[in-house]
Structure 1
Amino acid sequence: MTTEDTLWATEELFWTQGADSARAMTAKGAVFVFPYPVGILQGDRIWREDLVAQRWRSVEFSERCDSRERNIAVLAYRASALREGEPGYEAYCTSSYLNDDGTWLRIMHQQTPLTGSHPS
């Protein structure tokens, strides 16, 4: 599996696995930017936000783009996600990862919902 394959698989897990799994793959001082009303979250505040802690039943990525320079990788994509009992969610997203001694940790995530989508 290539590094890019690993990063994309990790990104999918962030959407679909539990908050504990996502927390284990996230750098301590990470910054997440979600649509209003959630806003900008950093560190432990990320995991206290109810909307962030809820996982999606499924997610599909399209318009994928990735870039890597040494120990930093950036993923950009369009997400189409489904959660039980809620309308679908579509957003353009970016995530940045830091390779910390062989482990890729998410250090930043941002979502820009597409028109008519519901926030995270």
Structure 2
Amino acid sequence: MTIEATLWDQEERFWTQGADSARNMSAKNAVFVFPYPTGILSGDALWREADVAQRWRSVVMSEQVLSVEGNIAVLAYRVSAERGDIPLYEALCTSTYLKDDTKWLRLTHQQTPTS
């Protein structure tokens, strides 16, 4: 699998496989920025937060951009996601990954709602 395919697959799993999967794919001191009221999360707080812990039923990523420089990769995209009774969630997102030996780990993730 190419670096591009690996990272986009990992990013989709971040949305659909829940907190345990996200924890295994993230750096120990990762920082996530969610819309208000959740805000900035890092450390153990990441895995207790509903915005991270809940799985999304479906996710569509578009306008995908990938920039790789050595062991650092940045993904930027527009997402449309659904779960439960919540209306369709649409946002612009970025995630930064660091390659640690043979595994890509998420360092940051940020979401800006578009509606």
State TM-score, norm by structure 2.
0.97
DSSP-derived class of the 1:51 partner? helix
Consecutive unaligned residues of structure 1, counting only runs of 5 or more, are 116-120
Equivalent AA in structure 2 for residue 57 of structure 1: R
Q: Which residue of 1 aligns with 2:15?
A: 15
Cα distance in structure 1, aligned partners of 2:62 and 2:76: 9
> Which portions of structure 1, spanning 4 or more consecutive aligned residues, are displaced by more than 6 angstroms?
none
Consecutive unaligned residues of structure 2, counting only runs of 5 or more, are none
Q: Which residue of 1 aligns with 2:82?
A: 82
Higher strand proportion: 2
Q: Which residue of 2 aligns with 1:99?
A: 99
Matches of residues 49-88 of structure 1 in structure 2 within 5 Å?
49-88=49-88
Q: Give how far 1:18 is off.
A: 2.1
State TM-score, norm by structure 1.
0.93
| Residue range with higher mean Cα deviation, 48-57 or 60-69 | 48-57
Q: Which residue of 2 aligns with 1:27?
A: 27
The count of corresponding residues between Structure 1 and Structure 2 is 115
Identity of paired residues, percent? 69
Cα distance in structure 1, aligned partners of 2:52 and 2:25: 15
RMSD of aligned residue pairs (Cα, Å): 0.7
Q: Give how far 1:44 is off.
A: 1.1
Contact 2:96/2:106 (CA < 8 Å) preserved in 1?
yes
